Amino acid sequence: MRILIAEDEARIARFMERGLKANGYAPTVVEDGISALDLASSGDFDLLILDVGLPRMDGFQVLKALRAMDVQLPILMVTARTGVDDTVQGLEDGANDYIAKPFRFEELLARVKLRAREATAGAGSVSADLLELGDLSLDLRTRIATCTVDGQERSVELSSREFTMARVFLENPTQVLTRDLLLSKVWGYDYDGASNVVDVYVGYLRGKLGAARLVTVRGAGYKLVDPAA
């Protein structure tokens, strides 16, 4: 797995580079945002570890530029900022995950391994009428979801809102989706009903598809995962 590390603090960059090499990965380090954007868009890497506070072009700008170019490289944001707003901004702009400084290498390694497993398993395949992630599939014509729960295969018909929410999750597999994003995608920006409606419908989907598929990311939102991956 080829990993691009965009980090301008030499001590932290060496710390990550040495640890990743010791665990069988192939890291490359750059120290500024322009270089990060250039290499990350080359197609030569499997993961970008992207620091927010980069010179010449900060991490958020690099992230937005890559997604605007339709570069789907998985991106792990690294930030010294602890505010929820910064975390949410990164996730909404297309980051796959984030980690706050200071961090233990074991935590970073666990997140890298997760991205590697997702890449091996495949990120959710899409056909004209079917969305899939692992053993979960959603038929776009019938609104029927098929999955395995507690060792038994089940097919369930989803309500209109449940179907729309499930589709949003499956079109963005393993990515953290904020409540505001889900609210706008499923109910529209002008929705003025109950503020906890997203949490309620996530609960409905968990009841039908299995609780382990929809993971709560504290302070950020939810993500759909393959429990078997």
Q: Centre a 10 Å sphere on the Cβ of residue 219 and count the other Cβ atoms it contains.
A: 10
Give all domains of the chain, ordered by start, each with its CATH number: 2-121 (3.40.50.2300), 130-224 (1.10.10.10)
Residue bearing the bigger pLDDT, 18 or 115:
18
Nearest Cα neighbor of 71 from 42, 97, 35 is 42
Nearest Cα neighbor of 224 from 153, 151, 119, 118 is 118
In the predicted structure, residue 69 carries a pLDDT above the cut 70: yes
Containing 152, the helix (H) or strand (E) segment is strand 152-157
In the predicted structure, residue 229 carries a pLDDT above the cut 50: yes
pLDDT at residue 31, rounded to an integer: 97
pLDDT band at 10 (very low <50, low <70, confident <90, very high): very high
pLDDT at residue 124, rounded to an integer: 47
Nearest Cα neighbor of 222 from 102, 88, 117, 128 is 88
pLDDT band at 125 (very low <50, low <70, confident <90, very high): very low
Nearest Cα neighbor of 92 from 180, 157, 15 is 180
**DSSP class per residue in 160-204:** HHHHHHHHHHHHSTT--EEHHHHHHHHT-TT--S-TTHHHHHHHH
Contacts of 200 (CB under 8 A, 6+ apart): 194
Highest mean pLDDT among 20-24, 52-56, 127-131: 52-56
List, for residues 78-118, the tens digit of each pLDDT value. 987 655 666 677 777 888 888 888 888 888 988 888 777 66
Mean pLDDT of all residues belonging to the chain? 86
pLDDT at residue 106, rounded to an integer: 87
List, for residues 126-175, the tens digit of each pLDDT value. 445 788 998 999 988 788 999 988 888 899 989 888 999 999 999 888 88
28 and 5 Cβ atoms separated by less than 8 Å: yes
What number is the average pLDDT over the span 46-50?
95
